[in-house]
Chains A and B, each alone.
Chain A
Amino acid sequence: MRDNAKRRLSTGLLACLILAVLTGALTLWAMKAGSLNVTWRQLISGLFVSYDETVRIIYDLRFPRILIALLAGAALSASGLILQAVLKNPLADPGIIGISGGAGFAAALVTSFFPMLYFFRPIFACVGGLGAFLLIYTLAWKGSLNPVRILLVGVAIAAVFSGLTSILGGMNSSSGISLEVSGLSMRTWSDVRLLAVYSAVGLIPALVSAPACNLMALDDRTIRSLGTNADRLRALLSLMAVWLVSSATAVIGVVGFLALLAPHMGRKLVGGNHWVLTPFCILLGAFILLLADTLGRLIAAPYEVPASVIMSVVGGPCFVVLLRKGDKHLGLR
């Protein structure tokens, strides 16, 4: 009788497995590909057997950015998925609605005034992200959350924070300190450690919160009549999502559209059950951001196209398509 549900679950897990293998393969390719050319043999022997100058450089420069792309992609995608569940809006993207902007601004503030707090940057970013989220929430609230209002208010907030960050950058450029927390280039192993710690703190609860995300798909009053406080649940899940965005933003800066596209593709491919969807989106986000970064390294080598630029160029049109398709859901029709 429940074969149907079981089959869907196992198909979903299979999809996760395939995606994991693909991500692994992409990672291997990303390790090898780039302006510094090495053969597989050279790479392996340089890593495990004997010292090799080229491999050493690759290990110090290329590996961290690969890991950071994977971690940040996973964190962004998971946060987008949770935000969309919580705001009941399939188009909620932390980049578009300004949460990343708030986080990025806070991170830039910390970098410019308290550079010694490097390791705590994600926490400050999280405070900034929460501030932006609360702003969006209060400004878009009119008895209930109107999906279109969220997007409109969010766009304004994103613009303000991006402007503030630019002002901060302008004020600091004379002193020669760079606070560009954007992009994946020049990342070090300490960035990897930082992001690994913070994103793990967010990703593990995100995986476990699958039933809560599933429940959020019902109306708030239905959730309430089932004895669960929807507002409290929403606050907890939002905090988790903002934490994830902020830890990624504190390390690689604002990347738009990833948190929109990955969950959307995920929903299309494995359905809306978060037990499968959340792990799938985490993998998919990692895959997409690493792909974008690696392509960015190769397209115009020796110059680099930042992953965020690639995401914007590809993501923008996709967003428009989704917006048109989502008319029904957004109540625009």
Chain B
Amino acid sequence: MVCVENIRFSYGDTPVLQGVSLTVKAGVVTTLMGANGCGKTTLLNLMTKNLRPDAGHVTLDGTDIQSMRLKEFARCAAIVHQKNSAPDDLSVRKLVSYGRLPYCSMLRSQRGEDLEKVEWALSATDMTALADRPMGALSGGERQRAFLSMALAQGTRLLYLDEPTTFLDVRYQVELLRLIRRLNRELGITIVMVLHDINQALCYSDEVVGLKDGAVFCQGPPNQVISQETIHALYGIRLEVCRQNKTLWVMTV
């Protein structure tokens, strides 16, 4: 679905990515892993048209995303960032309805189809009961769910998440990841995310991509790819890796 071909990128004189290539399969949860500064967020930004690569291409269903207009791209891929701001008195429903922006001009009022899609996105993320609440009254987890709901309202088949759980308590982290997993399983939405927590990455992904020194170090299902050696190579620390009926655990202490 998404093809990254030999991407190079540098901030000024500091090279960050030196020839990254990978493919994201449709209908699958893919997680980018790696130590701080390995370029995973940069890679996500390149895949979402937030940055322009120095060399190489990112294609979406065969089309170079650089040649797509922003609006066009927003109809194909939605993004949830790690920290999002919204006015405190904005209602959740209003925020979610911004997700329909790629389909209408700013001045034209939304059509029935858009309103339906908004209600659908609210219910898919269990936000219907909170739809009339102002954003300022939400907890961190609910807030993040509201933004996920907005991304869903865009009606895309592809969803990018940039460390969506970083600022959440563990309960909300797990709830959000389960929700993301459910959206993938039930709606077939392809998910590409960056996660900080190794175990969450292993547990909730079908594929992991390990980045090291600005290049892809390993890619594949967590079971096949992750071992003590790869963890050591990616994060520079020896950690115990346990297997328990097909499930993989890394002792992060």
Contact = CB atoms under 8 A, between A and B. Distances in A.
Contact of A224 (B50, B75, B147, B154): B50
A2 B48 contact: no
A77 B72 CA distance: 36
A4 interface: yes
Given A5-B91, A5-B94, A221-B50, A227 B102 contact: yes
A219 B85 contact: yes
Contacts of B178: none
B68 to A, nearest CB: 10
B194 interface: no
- Range of interface residues on B (Cβ < 8 Å): 20 to 34
A323 to B, nearest CB: 19
Interface in B39-75: 48-50, 69-75
Nearest to B85: A219
Contacts of B101: 215, 226-228
Interface residues of A, number: 22
A1 interface: yes
Contacts of B94: 5
A2 B89 contact: no
Nearest to A273: B89
Chain A: interface secondary structure?
Answer: loop
B136 to A, nearest CB: 10
B98 interface: yes
B78 interface: yes
A299 interface: no
B212 interface: no
A228 B70 contact: yes
A226 B132 contact: no
A229 B102 CA distance: 11
A229 B85 contact: no
A242 to B, nearest CB: 21
Contacts of A313: none
A218 B84 contact: yes
Interface in A180-227: 208, 211-212, 215, 217-219, 221-222, 224-227
Contacts of A222: 79, 81, 84, 147
Nearest to A267: B89
A163 interface: no
B107 interface: yes
B237 interface: no
Contact of A217 (B73, B78, B90): B90
Given A218-B98, A226-B99, A227-B101, A2 B84 contact: no
B132 A227 contact: no
A224 B70 contact: yes
A316 interface: no
Contact of A1 (B69, B87, B132): B132
Contacts of B72: 227
Contact of B85 (A2, A5, A218, A273): A218
B216 to A, nearest CB: 24
B50 A227 contact: no
Contacts of B49: 224
Given A2-B132, A5-B132, A215-B98, A225 B79 contact: yes
A272 interface: yes
Contacts of B48: 225
Contacts of B90: 217, 272
Given A4-B91, A218-B85, A272-B90, A226 B102 contact: yes
A5 B95 CA distance: 13
A271 interface: yes
A211 B72 CA distance: 21
15 contacts: A1-B132, A2-B93, A5-B91, A211-B107, A217-B87, A219-B81, A222-B84, A222-B147, A225-B78, A226-B74, A226-B101, A226-B154, A227-B74, A272-B87, A273-B89
Given A218-B98, A227-B101, A228-B71, 10 more contacts: A5-B94, A5-B132, A225-B48, A225-B74, A225-B79, A225-B151, A226-B102, A227-B72, A228-B70, A272-B87
